[in-house]
A and B are shown apart, each in its own frame.
Chain A
Amino acid sequence: MKLWGYLAEFDSPAQLIEAVRTLRAEGYTHFDAHTPFPIEGLAEHMGFEENRVDPVHVMAGLAAGAVALGIMLWANAYSYPLNIGGRPLVAWAAFVLPTFEIGTLGATVAGVAAMLVLNRLPDTTHPLLAVERFHLASDDTFFLSLPASDPMFQAEDSWRDLTRLNPVALEAVLTEEGA
């Protein structure tokens, strides 16, 4: 068995936020918080600010819409032109709705996919999911995990740092060798 990291448990969001601020001030960077619901400001206290999902939504939406419009223009005006009562072949106004619909479709699919990829989900074999008390993270308990991959991580010093945060419980998370 190999040490994956430590897992501390807190009773309230306020205590968790306090703990996160302390750890960050001490120089840790790879720690993470696990909460049953999103807590306002928690990520900012962790120094995590990114928005890569929204740009994906926008870009994918525009790209999908452009592809849809391109296919329609090409199909109806060049590949199979159909003259009905002399109406213009490049009837762009008629193409607005499908362009919009396919644009929204592309935006949503890509945005959701980006969210999952950036979050590295699905991951049903994460070591934390095997911890006995971790099931409370989706119920009413607030967890703080500190993985051994953190550059500041020292088996004994980090344990002491976490103890000083006054968690309700603190435990070491082990994984299979090579997992």
Chain B
Amino acid sequence: MDTFQHVTEEVTHIALHPGARRNWWILMAVALLMLGVFFVSTGWLFWLGVGVWGLNIPVNWGMDIINTVWWVGLGHAGTLISALLLIMGRHWRTSLNRFAEAMTLFAAMVAALFPILHLGRPQLFYWMLPYPNDMALWPQFRSPLTWDVFSFLAYIVVSFLFWYIGMIPDLATLRDKTTSPRLKIFYGVLALGWRGSARHWVRWRQAYVATALITFHLVVSVHSGVAMLFAAGLVAGWHSTLFPPFFVQSAVFSGVAVVILMAVTLRHAFHLYDLLTLRHLDILAKLLLGTGLLTAYGYLAEGFHAWYSGNPYEMQTLNDRLFGTYAWSAWGSIFLNILLIQLLWFRRVRTNVPLLFGIAAGVTVGMWLERYLLIVSGLYRDYLPSAWHVYETTWPEWGLFIGSIGLFGVLFLLFARFLPLVSMFELKEDLQREEAAE
């Protein structure tokens, strides 16, 4: 039988007496190496300008925007798992929500970097915000590009607050458990002097649940906003009312895959076999299958939409997607996102950890290919055949992509090492509830 004390010990142990230091340092070394690649690629970009990328007319959105859409999508599953399941009172979320929220926050931060790097003059990014200026200019608020400035801003701030206030009681536990004076100050400041007062809990719960409701709506609105970047334009293959809902659910699909990757990695790196059980992985696998089937429906609807429109340009784009220069991205995403996940119908596959990890990694790659397909093959054959041009990626683009994974990895590993990885007080609340029910 678990006790409250047992929960405290198991979780604070990770941050205060890391036993798996070696595993952590190995992962950190890889992440730092990739972060180095990030700095080299952005340094090169800042030195020479966006010309170092393979962008050109007509493909003026390349890997930078692919990565933005991919990264921000990954984060959505974290919000969904955490906020929606909190509101619905699904208690199995407890072991997952903290790191899923961290994943959301870091993925959104990484995603927000790419449009800024794409600006060409990233130091002037604040021109996107409405502020009184001596040029007497305003942003064009009717443009989805401007909408996304606010979407990302709201998403990052709200995700941060949701994650942070959810963590305050656990930071207090770390403050109370640590024996190092320096860590005591570190956690003490972050815990804001939390003392578990019954009055405080009431107000805390009100703020937490209200913020959960808000973040849940942000999942829908932020990725719809991203989808409008495409749907509001007139490019064949982009101009579709299907995009906002399709983007939101495929974002959740890719995010669930990453939550599985993170859960399996943390489970093995920090020996969290009691907290992240096979049952959690089984539920996540079902969620992956469910959202994957919705994604398959989205693909079908997209094809049908092109055919039913009777528009020759739409049909041409569909043909280019499936059989053109970038056909590999289409077939790759169909294989990884639709065919491979059918294995998840079997319980034996869902609870086979290496196999599940492989399928989730496949979906993560598959969704990246899908964003590639969507953006590049939508653009490279425009309305004017004389303007057709293929897009060839360059090393700074790949370096930035690999580097962004490194940046995410470093942030996530720092979180996993120093902050409460699993929500202790919610686990204790569940224990109490079970005891009361007995």
A169 within 8 A of B: no
Please report the C-alpha to C-alpha distance between residue A87 and residue B173 in the assembled complex, in whole angstroms.
58
B177 within 8 A of A: yes
Please report the C-alpha to C-alpha distance between residue A137 and residue B424 in the assembled complex, in whole angstroms.
13
> How many B residues have CB within 8 A of the partner chain?
67
The segment out of B72-80, B209-217, B314-322, B386-394 that lies at the interface is B209-217
B141 within 8 A of A: yes
B307 within 8 A of A: no
B268 within 8 A of A: no
Q: Do the beta carbons of B214 and A37 come within 8 Å of each other?
A: no
Please report the C-alpha to C-alpha distance between residue A109 and residue B308 in the assembled complex, in whole angstroms.
46
A100 within 8 A of B: yes
Contacts of B204 in A (CB 8 A): 38, 115, 119
Contacts of B201 in A (CB 8 A): 35, 38-39, 42-43
B10 within 8 A of A: no
Known: A34-B197, A36-B4, A57-B210. A97 touches B158 (CB 8 A): no
Q: Do the beta carbons of A124 and B188 come within 8 Å of each other?
A: yes
B355 within 8 A of A: no
Please report the C-alpha to C-alpha distance between residue A114 and residue B206 in the assembled complex, in whole angstroms.
11
Please report the C-alpha to C-alpha distance between residue A61 and residue B218 in the assembled complex, in whole angstroms.
13
Please report the C-alpha to C-alpha distance between residue A46 and residue B194 in the assembled complex, in whole angstroms.
19
Partner of B199, one of A32, A98, A138: A32
Q: Do the beta carbons of A139 and B4 come within 8 Å of each other?
A: yes
The segment out of B147-155, B297-305, B332-340 that lies at the interface is B147-155
Tell which of A75, A101, A112 has the most Cβ of chain B within 10 Å: A101
A146 within 8 A of B: no
Please report the C-alpha to C-alpha distance between residue A138 and residue B175 in the assembled complex, in whole angstroms.
9
Partner of A108, one of B137, B150, B188, B214: B214
Contacts of B426 in A (CB 8 A): 37
Q: Do the beta carbons of B141 and A95 come within 8 Å of each other?
A: yes
Q: Chain A interface secondary structure, helix, strand, loop or mixed?
A: helix
Q: Do the beta carbons of A79 and B165 come within 8 Å of each other?
A: no
Please report the C-alpha to C-alpha distance between residue A10 and residue B177 in the assembled complex, in whole angstroms.
19
Select from chain B the residue with minimum beta-carbon distance to A64. B154
Q: Do the beta carbons of A98 and B150 come within 8 Å of each other?
A: yes
List CB contacts (< 8 Å) of B96-147 with chain A: 130, 136-142, 144, 146-147
Q: Do the beta carbons of B432 and A39 come within 8 Å of each other?
A: yes
**B interface residues, Cβ below 8 angstroms from A:** 3-5, 8, 130, 136-142, 144, 146-147, 150-151, 153-155, 157-158, 161-162, 165, 169, 172-173, 175-177, 188-189, 191-207, 210-211, 214-215, 217-218, 221-222, 224-225, 228, 424-426, 428-429, 432
**A interface residues, Cβ below 8 angstroms from B:** 13, 32-39, 42-43, 46, 48, 50-54, 57, 61, 68, 71-72, 75-76, 79-80, 82, 87, 91, 94-95, 97-98, 100-102, 104-105, 107-109, 111-112, 114-116, 118-119, 121-126, 128-129, 134-140, 143
Minimum-distance CB pairs A-B, first 10: A140-B4, A135-B176, A122-B192, A75-B138, A115-B207, A53-B206, A101-B154, A33-B198, A38-B201, A124-B193
